[in-house]
């Protein structure tokens, strides 16, 4: 049964741009009260103005528990949190041997620890009320590991595992947990990254539409585009040697290695700061 989102309080991290901003717009169009969180106060404020309606914005560093906790408390000024979208994420790319320890820590802190922190912060109230929904934006790389993004892949694999555990843990209390797995998305995070042969980069609004659809009709795992899920599970039953050969044929094994370094330069600088 489809749920109404009107007057629901929806909190979205990393919502100043890209998928997060597109998602905020979609939820606002459904009549939700949207709370945008972003690391950059100017970006967050501008995003809230773009979304309009009853959208508000606050600064949050999801890698800092105190900052995340303060953000959640400010979000609760709009009412009990009905939906948390853990969207904030970073994707610095390099061979693992070239990745600094600081970069490793940052990827894990933003992509994984923040999802755990956000869940810890909102789950108690949700379970007490007997309702709520936590939607984690993972990645197709959370099911298909790719060279040159080992730590990123590890963080997204971990988000999938954590989410599966939390789905079982929270379902008896009426709280849903969902994961969204986009392929390459046309955002700054994927600057300079090409989709595999036969595929195109999806638009942020396509991912946003999937997130809102899941909020209305909860399900655990949603791929964007939808057909990529069937491709993954079909390939996954094949022997590894055959899977590797097929992946090489469509260029999937080079997706994060054959990148336009110049096109990614500004994103890599910002992701490491």
Tell me which residues are annotated as active site: 152
> Is residue 255 classed as helix, strand or coil in its secondary structure?
coil
Q: Are 10 and 34 in contact (CB under 8 A)?
A: yes
Q: In terms of residues, how long is the chain?
A: 273
Q: For the chain, how are helix, strand and coil distributed in percent, rounded to 5?
A: 55, 15, 30
Close Cβ partners of 177 (under 8 Å, ≥ 6 residues apart): 133, 134, 135, 136, 163, 166, 167, 170, 171, 220
Q: What are phi and psi of 9, to 5 degrees?
A: -90, 115
Give the other-Cβ count within 10 Å of 18's Cβ.
20
Q: Are 114 and 86 in contact (CB under 8 A)?
A: yes
Q: Are 100 and 146 in contact (CB under 8 A)?
A: no
Residue 127 DSSP class? H
Residue 64 DSSP class? S
Between CA 132 and CA 170 the distance in angstroms is 10
Ordered strands of the 175-182 beta sheet = 56-59, 33-38, 9-13, 83-86, 132-137, 175-182, 221-224
Between CA 22 and CA 20 the distance in angstroms is 5
């Amino acid at each position: 049964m489809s749920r109404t989102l009107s007057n629901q309080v929806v909190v979205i991290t990393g919502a100043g741009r890209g998928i997060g901003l597109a998602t905020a717009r979609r939820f606002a169009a459904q009549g939700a009260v949207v709370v945008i969180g972003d690391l950059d106060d100017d970006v967050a404020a501008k995003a809230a103005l773009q979304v309009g309606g009853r959208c508000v914005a606050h600064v949050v560093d999801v890698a800092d528990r105190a900052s995340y906790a303060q953000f959640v408390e400010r979000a609760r000024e709009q009412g009990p949190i009905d939906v948390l979208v853990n969207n904030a994420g970073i994707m610095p790319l390099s061979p693992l041997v070239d990745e600094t320890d600081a970069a490793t820590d940052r990827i894990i802190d933003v992509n994984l620890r923040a999802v755990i922190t956000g869940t810890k912060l909102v789950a108690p109230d949700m379970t007490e009320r007997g309702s709520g929904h936590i939607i984690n934006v993972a990645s197709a790389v959370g099911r298909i590991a790719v060279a040159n993004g080992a730590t990123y892949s590890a963080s997204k694999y971990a988000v999938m595992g954590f989410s599966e555990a939390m789905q079982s843990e929270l379902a008896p209390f009426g709280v849903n947990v969902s994961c969204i797995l986009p392929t390459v998305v046309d955002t700054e995070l994927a600057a300079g990254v090409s989709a595999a042969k036969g595929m195109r980069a999806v638009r942020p609004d396509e991912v946003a539409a999937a997130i809102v659809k899941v909020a209305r009709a909860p399900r655990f795992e949603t791929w964007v585009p939808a057909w990529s899920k069937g491709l993954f599970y079909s390939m996954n039953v094949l022997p590894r040697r055959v899977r590797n050969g097929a992946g090489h044929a469509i260029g999937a094994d080079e997706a994060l290695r054959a990148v336009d370094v110049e096109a990614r330069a500004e994103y890599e600088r910002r992701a490491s700061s």
